[in-house]
Amino acid sequence: MSRVYTTRTDGDDGYICYLKDGRYFEIPAITDEDEIQDNLDSVLVSAVLSNYDLQQCHDDVYVNQDVVRQDYTLGTEEGALILEELKQEFPSYVNYERSEFNFVGKYDGYREPYQNSSISFYDFGASPSESLLLNFNTSYLASNLKHWYGLKFDLVSKEVLLKVVILDYDGSKPALPKEDRAYKTFYARTHAQDGTEADWIDAYVFATPRRIKDFCAAQGLDYPLFDNTHKECDVVWCWGLVFHKDTLEYGAVKAYARHNE
Amino acid sequence: MALQTSAAISFANLQSEFGGSHPITMGEYASHRVSGSGNTISMNQFYGASSNETQTVTVGSYYDGAAYISTTSYGYSSDSNSYGSISDGTLGVAGNKTIQLLAWNNINIVTLRVAGVASNSGWTTMTVNGTAFSRASASFYSNGTASTAWQWLTITTNPFGTSGTKQVVFT
């Protein structure tokens, strides 16, 4: 799918002009059509990323045209309710309220390794502590850790999973969507309390729906969104591609659509 | 090049220095005066005036850990997570728009964002502490009536540095 755009010149300078839903974009003119579309992708992604309320928002997580999870900031009504349940079920596992930007979500198991009704917790602005990593019998180079991590609390089995978010994954990877010029692809590995690691790796990609839809079609994967929604980069700003670390088989393709409350 | 500091200044001189088209209205050049104020405009108030515009940024920083991509920004922002300061913060070359954001972040993006609707014109280069950024090489984004932004991607060196006061010159 290619966007239709116009061009304009201003003296010696040329521009590609793109208008969508009241938002107007210009990028420096170039001749390569693929590069034009990629650069429009970048500016669209960047515009979306700079336009949300950090404390009052939620993510809709789509898999195969279904909302499988909703994650809320703690300051939202829904987030506060989930936080209370989390504090009751798993009191003081970590300081859940360390950051006002933290997210929580409640969901049913929809893919490996998530089996039961669970609560997800995301601690933003902090890497997992050494003691937390030790609890899961794992360690990472601090320089490869991103400044957030996730915990998955199984409300039935009472098991806890640690999702460690890393800048790069040093194992083999399947083909992944082209990386955005500014927003680099990153990864997550999931650890259980018994010291085992999940076979499935998450790769997170910032991209427009256009790029992911093309990628899914090329790889024979289920595109997570409906055909008639989010055609342009209005809210979807992050995509998760799950793959098996040994076979490199693809798992779910997730779309994280962030909305202000 | 700055206007002369003596002798008569013509309308054509103003137009040459600051741009604009016919018909000329004096009001559109009022913000370029180097002396005087108010609604009465004298040509000698433009002695030495230059189309260059300098903004002075006192560099602040902000760590944004709220997003899936955590970033640290350096420069000035008046957003809710404000940091740094700017003087005078009104960008004349962009139609006297208020600067909301003028910063570099460590995912290698330099952003200039002003309030309201501005056109992608009126200046050619933004020089931050000696590093030039061509407007023609920027991505331009107008978010309805709320704001207008220019962004330069893949800027791996922080032109603002981490502290101090830096000049940002628009030509």
Of A109, A51, A52, A100, nearest to A79 (Cα)?
A100
pLDDT in tens, B53-65: 899 999 999 887 6
- The number of C-alpha atoms within 13 Å of A186 and in the hemisphere containing its C-beta is 19
Residue in the structure block whose two tokens are 């300078």: A13
Query: How far, in Å, are A21, A48, A75, B134 from residue A57 at the CA level?
Result: 21, 13, 9, 35
Does the pLDDT of residue A51 top 70, yes or no? no
| Pairing mode of beta strands A103-107, A118-124 | antiparallel
* B94 Cα to chain A: minimum distance (Å): 16
DSSP structure class, residue B17: H
Calculate mean pLDDT across residues B7-15: 88
Question: Among A69-78, A125-134, A224-233, A238-247, which is the least confidently predicted range?
Answer: A224-233
Amino acid (1-letter code) at residue A122: Y
Per the CB < 8 Å rule, is A46 touching B63? no
Per the CB < 8 Å rule, is A47 touching B154? no
Does the pLDDT of residue A12 top 90, yes or no? no
Query: What is the rounded (10 degree) CA torsion for B76, B79, B82, B88?
Result: 40
Cα separation, A158 vs A89, whole angstroms: 8
Cα separation, A245 vs A63, whole angstroms: 20
Cβ neighbours around A208 below 10 Å, total: 29
Interface mutation target, options A25, A36, A58, A74, chain B, most CBs of B under 10 Å:
A25
% of chain B beyond a pLDDT of 90: 48
Residues of B at the A interface, defined by Cβ within 8 angstroms? 63-70, 80-81, 107-109, 111, 120-121, 135-144, 149, 151, 153-154
DSSP H or E stretch at residue B15: helix B11-18
Burial label for A92, CB within 10 Å (0-12, 13-18, 19+), is exposed
pLDDT in tens, A164-208: 999 999 999 999 998 877 778 999 999 999 999 999 999 999 888
Q: Is A101 on the interface with B (CB under 8 A)?
A: yes
Residue ranges per domain, chain B?
Answer: 11-46, 53-170
